[in-house]
Structure 1
Amino acid sequence: MEEKTKLFGYKNSVTVKSLALMIILSTAILLGMELISFYYMSVYEKSTMENYRNSLEMYCSYWDNKLDIINNSLLTVTSSSSSDSSYSNVCNSRDELVFQTAKKLLVNRMSDIAWNHENEVLVFVYVPDREVFLKSTNHLVSYDKRLEMDQDIKKYASGIRSYNSTKWDYFKSGTEDFFIQVYRIDGGYIGALVKCQTILDGVVQDNGMVSGIGLTDDEGKITYSLRGEAGGEEKKDTAVLLIPMTHIDGQLKVEAQRQNLFGDKTTFTFLSLITVSLGLLLLAWNVRYQVKAVLGPLNKLRSVMEKFSRGNLDVRLEEKNTNSEIDVLNHTFNEMAEQIVDLKIDVYEAELAREKTESNYMRVQIQPHFYTNILNLIYGLAQLKDFASIQKLSMTTGAYFRYLLGEKGTFVLLREEIQCVKNYIQIQQIRYKDEMEFELNAEEGMERQMVLPMILQTFAENSVKHNIGLVPLLRIRIDISSGNDRIYITVRDNGAGFEPDMLERINKNENISNKGEHIGITNVKERLRIFYGDTASVEINSRPGETLVKVVLPEILTQEERNEYHIGG
């Protein structure tokens, strides 16, 4: 009868049901993994192809932009509005001195263009009528091929029919492939060359992914094969991508090996099958282990907890002094039982309320936009190369967040609060420069007083946040004094002030934190109420041009204790 009851208990156990559900779901997942793996493989192939296409398009866009810059540079050299008329003088001047001087100046300008593009481009000027051929430093071919290239350029420039297009044409000299641009202006030719290899090096990787690259016409037919064997129909093991380029006559056709692009699908499938098989074996072993090592002890724990909940406070679980989770649970239950016996529920609930309030106020103090503003400010200072301000901002921000995020007790030294406010204001003054003035006066010895954290900073931040930019010069002043066992804090600014209805709600202690607005003031007043009761108060008087916040706190240290109490010197 007892065995039947035990068996019945196992069948109705949540653990057993959960274990059975886990078995069913795990088996379904493992068996479905194979089909899902093939699906995701196809998705992966599509994503990889798209990413590869995007990378090629970005790279081609980079070269399109570079070719456009070279086009503009060539046209600038020939521009009639340019202060340097060396090109025009080379083409037209009959003064020998002017002509020779213009040639030197023109070569220098062409060399500057080539140097600006890391000598990946050759710039030339050809004036057939005057038998003038000038060029920048030639790093594109070896010395013995330069004369041949010069003749090929002259022949190409004289033979083309359409000039002054933004398109770069394919050009071949000897065994080298180039892209060429030629403008015909004032009876002369000005142009530039870029090696095809220079552009294609960024497309072809050392891993053998690309098997061929070529140029195609608008219909996709290969006009020039630039690398490997590019052409024909797309093969099963090859992926073909057509990348249009704005400044090159034709499209770039790239043939990539699918195996190198997507990986070995056979290996992936084999590993997937191995994973499923191992998963099923591990699942079977896990079920056996769970029944033996977990199910039984958990049912025993449940039984003991039921007895404890019915009032048997002396019941305890056996501990085997191991590090297993079950033994840890048994030990934890025994410890908990001992604590519950002596626990005072009312003290516990009050402590929870206090911790919740502490958590809420700390969480709302750190707003994401403040991080963003600091990062944008550092970026702007870096653009201006104002390294001194960057160092100052970094040190101040580090100190500010170290205090803001650091571990703090219920109370902190007033001097730490003062330093926190100074750091915050210093950050804002770096950001807004001459738009803000700040003054803080504290009675001597007050810095050793103990106060709740983030009180000063909350009201200073409120003054900056709601007034900066609304007045030509925002002035903020904080005064701290003592008397009659009280700490008096006043925060004054010359900002726009609170709206009358908002000010009335604040002074009536109504909830004003709708959509995160003034949540800092709400938290300060709530924390003062919890920790000080009626001995603390916050009063706000405001009108356009002046806002005065008065905070009264009870002193924790007497004057004599303040004189004797030293922390950190």
Structure 2
Amino acid sequence: MLPLFKSLRFKLIFGLLIIVIPIVAFMIYNNLYAIKVVRNQVAQSNKNLISLYMGQIDRNLDEVDKYLFNFAAQDTGLLVLDAQRDQNADRYSLAKIQLNNKLLKDLPSYKSMDMFFVYSEPNQDLLTVISDQVTYTRQEAVENSIMTIFQDQRDGSNQTSLKEWFMLKLGDQYYLTRVIKYGNVYIGAWADASKLMVPLNLVDLGNNGRALLVTDKFETMSNKAFVQENQINLNNVGNDYKLTGKGEKFLVVGEKSAKGRFRLIAVIPDSIILENLPFLRRMVSFILIGSLILLPFILFLLRKIILIPINRIMMAMRRIEDGNLDVRITYSPSVIEFDKMNQSFNRMISQIQELKINVLKEKLNHQKAELKHLQLQINPHFFLNSLNIIYNLAQVKDFTLIQEMALSLVEYFRFMFRSNMAFVALRDEVQHTLNYFRIQEMRFPHNLTYDLSVPDNLMDELVPPLVIQTFVENTIKHAVSMDKQVHIGITIEAIEVNRIRIRVQDTGKGFPEDVLARLQMEMDIGNGEGHHIGIWNMQRRLRLLYQDQAQITFANGADLGAVIDILIPFHEKEGGGNYASIAGRGR
């Protein structure tokens, strides 16, 4: 199987992703960049707006500062309040009346202020001038709070700096306070912090947008519930914007006051900001989402149009590699190129199959010719020895044996020339072997004995011709002599359900060690003089007839002698039944 990264499927998908991913990444980057640019622009715009309003507030506070300083420097009545009341009570009271009338007259000129006050520390006396919009209850609470500040200031427990405007908290409301010290007299101004937010409430920050006024510790003076509900973090709002909030995000910008310890903050919903993006950004988002939606559909079409037809061809080629030439690619609606490719593939496989059949036929004919050639080979020594036996019998005028010998030779050569058959019945092979034994008995009288055992029900099995006689002939050639009697035993039986074993065993000297080793390794042991050519012929014939289903083993018996086992598959019925035993002895 091909590695995944070398497959066409991988390369097509990888190539598609190589094209799509950079485009999608660029679109995402462009989208994020556009969002960042718009956020910067909105943040800068609102920053400028907040700075404008903060500048206006600071200018109003600066005018109040100038008024307070001028008042302290020019009004002589403050000098009277700086002295003890007991020194001149009437003058003290007159000075308070004059100060009250002047402050009451000037208060309407400063609409952002709700109160002017003067405090005489030597007399612990507080003079206040209140706007008509302030209730008596609120006035009383403010006066008590201011008295507390001065009391703490005198005791040294007040940590509030009086050098700038600061926030004074009464209940849930915050008030902007300014105090200027002149000798032992304090003059100051007081205003509701919510009045500073009136102009900012006219600014359009969206339905969920807010303008906030916070202390220097980022405590919210207004819209506290809105900040807590949306979990908006106002800490460390500096010159740059920040995104904060749970759920819907908010863009927060702020500006610190130059006159006091407070700042203005604008909170703008991020959704409102993104609504102001240009049409191109929306189009990019549409293309991006469309690409992500279309990508699976493109991969599906790629698979259906290209990958499935190619996979069908690959599967057919794998089955052909396994030797199945009957495989054909079935017709399936596809593109014209793949239709042509499938038709050409099927025609090519058909031609290969026909060519293979022709080659097999030619090979079979060649094997038949080779088998016939092997079967027709005649041992010249056997023929000459047989003629020599007839000649010797003629000299002694033993006409009966001459007739028997001639008849045996006729039967021998008749069987040999039936070799156009690839198989013969076992009974014919057995009869031929017995006839061969009879001829050899005449050659080696009293020195050759034999027996042949075969079940009756195997007599009709088909075996290759000369499969027994070849090994008997080889045994007689190498084991039988005029000096010693040799017995040859042949046993034929059915084994392993579907195989026939033919065992040829003799009582001779057995195989030489070198010859036995070569035979066991299935090496050619023939030589130029024709020795062992019969064994090679039979090995070759069995290979042609049975391929790997036949087997010949060679060994030496425990009591000397050679043992040859031939295993071949049989065709008809399995063994069992009575045995026919045939034995003979030289006479």
Question: TM-score, normalization: structure 2?
Answer: 0.36
Higher relative contact order (CA 8 A, sep 6+): 2
Question: TM-score, normalization: structure 1?
Answer: 0.37
Q: Greater Rg, structure 1 or structure 2?
A: 2
